[in-house]
Amino acid sequence: MNRFLIMGPPGVGKGTQAERLAKHFSIPTISTGSLFREHVRNGTPLGLEIRELLAMGRYVSDEITNTVVAERLTLPDAEHGFILDGYPRTLAQVDALDAILAQRSAELDAVIVLEADRDQLIERILLRAVEQDRSDDTPEVVTHRLDVYSRETAQLISAYDARGLVVRVDGTGLPHVVADRITEALRAL
């Protein structure tokens, strides 16, 4: 089985690497952001609730997030593996994911943590902001997002590290080079 979680700070290339891994292993990438947008677009009961929360500037609750992920993991394409991107984000969500997988007599195979130098990340995100005309990615906002990531995910990485699931990979360099590093690290695990 290939059940992975991919983590890393903003700008490290999680989305790019998740897509590459998905193709390599023929498994889906499951992103909570995409799942939320799909529910909103389809006007599902959860989608209406998500739309209302986001309109008020609130975060989607753990309960809704866990439900959306649990539903997605029941689809046939996730039966032989998946890559979770953006979930879990809290220790409560780690516990919920454990329970979701236990119901299927499954567990995570690896937690891929992409790492990069903070200054490189800031430079990369600011360059992307210019290329994609994203005026909301100012140096202050980028620095804040990196601080929040560090604060919120340190305990998640520690929890998974204690289980021997964490694979740390240098996320700098060309995408195919990083992909090769990930594949090699997973083989070594």
In the chain, what is the straight-line distance between the N-terminal and C-terminal CA atoms, in Å? 13
Q: Which of 37, 89, 118, 168 is catalytic?
A: 89
Catalytic (active site) residue 3: no
Residues 169 and 187: their CA atoms lie apart, in Å, by 13
What is the torsional sign of CA 150, 164, 3, 173?
positive
Count the helices and strands in the chain (H runs, E runs).
Answer: 8, 5
Asked whether 114 and 171 are in contact (CB, 8 A), the reply is: yes
Catalytic (active site) residue 128: yes
Calculate the CA 170 to chain-centre distance.
Answer: 17
Catalytic (active site) residue 124: no
Catalytic (active site) residue 187: no
Q: Which of 23, 41, 104, 134 is catalytic?
A: 134
Catalytic (active site) residue 145: yes
Strand order in the sheet with 81-85: 29-31, 81-85, 2-7, 110-115, 166-170
Q: Which of 14, 20, 124, 181 is catalytic?
A: 14
Q: Which of 37, 51, 118, 145 is catalytic?
A: 145
Q: Which of 37, 118, 128, 168 is catalytic?
A: 128
Q: Catalytic site residues?
A: 14, 89, 128, 134, 145
